[in-house]
Amino acid sequence: MTMEVTDIVWVIVKAAMVAIALLSFSNLAVLAERKVSSWIQGRVGPNRTTLPLLGAIPILGTGLTRMGLFQPVADGLKLLLKEDPVPDHVNKFYFFLAPVASMIPAITIVVVLPFGQIIADGVASPLVLADLDIGILFIFAVSSLGVYGMILAGWASNSKYPFLGGIRSSAQMISYELSMGLSILPVFMWANAPGAETGLNLFSLVQHQQLVWGVIFMPFSALLFLISIFAETNRLPFDMPESESELVAGFNTEYGSFKFGLFFAAEYAHIIVGSGVFTVLFLGGWHPLPVYSSAISLPEGSVGTLLSIGIFLVKTFLVVFFFMWIRWTLPRFRYDQIMKLGWTMMLPLALVNLVLYAIILALMTPVTH
């Protein structure tokens, strides 16, 4: 309760910076998706959109235009300026609430996600908005709210296809949340083995991975978790709530203009945040090498801090790229296949994985002690 006004302002400024960064990245991710898809399909992708004066600068402007870097501006403006249709048969309150509800979890999770470190006097401290002791539980709790956006949209639209999308999303989310939780239990068992007091804190977990990344020690957990994030973010091959070949556009069929834009941005924000969580849990956060070597370690001071943020972002974006790569490579599952995969494959495998690593860690304990 002794917080000064300047402290509060500083907290708000930091939070705004992180939120703006996330939203800008999700805009860029939309562009990246278009470029990656065109690359995979042997097309060129967006390369015409340009800004009046900026695009006319000889090499820089034309280069940026070729890269499609002005496309997000055009996309955003288009969504903003379009007519915003609200059908008569919808439940207005929940119809307006749904896009907001789908955006909130993505922005909230970022609060506990450590994205870099500050080393001062040999002691590393995290770059994070809130360094919670129960970081991973917070992430699970908030990410479990992500489905409400889709359920609300599906129900409030009061129309067949969105409704089916909403029902599918709720069933799918519950099924895959279970294996997602089970798949990361071994990671925290490993991080809390005797001699390592990590707790459920994410920063300590990243520091714990300095010796060896989680993905090296438990690749199977990483695989299960990655598949579960695909299901939780509703990305192809798990995009049942949307599946445009069956459900028109799924839960957002009745939405247009900026409300649709919000759903769209939320999807990419979720992908980026999911990739960030994967990086923290399994890819060693900002540690440059999978296995520790004393020759390469981050220096102290602002250079090291910037490097740590850079490494973290590069890893996150590589995971985001992986998401896109999979989307344009694999076909969509059938709905019954998804439920079967979730309950009869992922869940037993996650249980076996958990027991296996419990035994392995118990056998390792005398060595680490």
Partner 1 sequence: MTVAFYIMAAIAVLGAVMAIALRNVVHAVFSVLLFFSALAGLFILLLAEFIAVVQVLVYIGSVGILMLFAIMLTTKVTGDPTRKLLSRGWAWGGLVSGALLLAFLVPLITQSKSESNSQLSNFNPSVKDLGLTLMDPYFASVGVIALLLTAGLIAAVVAASSASGE
Nearest of 236, 242, 245 to residue 327 by alpha carbon: 236
- Does the bond joining 237 to the residue before it have cis omega, within 30 degrees of 0? yes
Q: 177 or 267: whose CB is closer to partner 1?
A: 177
CB of 152 to partner 1, least distance (A): 9
Q: 72 or 99: whose CB is closer to partner 1?
A: 99
Phi and psi at residue 125, to the nearest 5°: -125, 155
Phi and psi at residue 24, to the nearest 5°: -65, -40
CB of 15 to partner 1, least distance (A): 18
Q: 69 or 156: whose CB is closer to partner 1?
A: 156
**Binding residues for partner 1, per CB under 8 A?**
1, 132-134, 137-138, 140-142, 144-145, 147-148, 151, 155, 163, 166-167, 170-171, 173-174, 177-178, 199-200, 336, 339-340, 343-344, 347-348, 351
Give the span between the Cα atoms of 248 and 254, in whole angstroms: 10
CB of 37 to partner 1, least distance (A): 32
CB of 133 to partner 1, least distance (A): 6
Q: 133 or 244: whose CB is closer to partner 1?
A: 133
C-alpha dihedral sign at 161, 33, 39, 46: positive
Q: What angle do CA 298, 312, 109 make, to 5 degrees?
A: 130
Tokens of 59: 């090499």
Q: 118 or 145: whose CB is closer to partner 1?
A: 145
CB of 175 to partner 1, least distance (A): 9
Nearest of 186, 213, 360, 345 to residue 290 by alpha carbon: 213
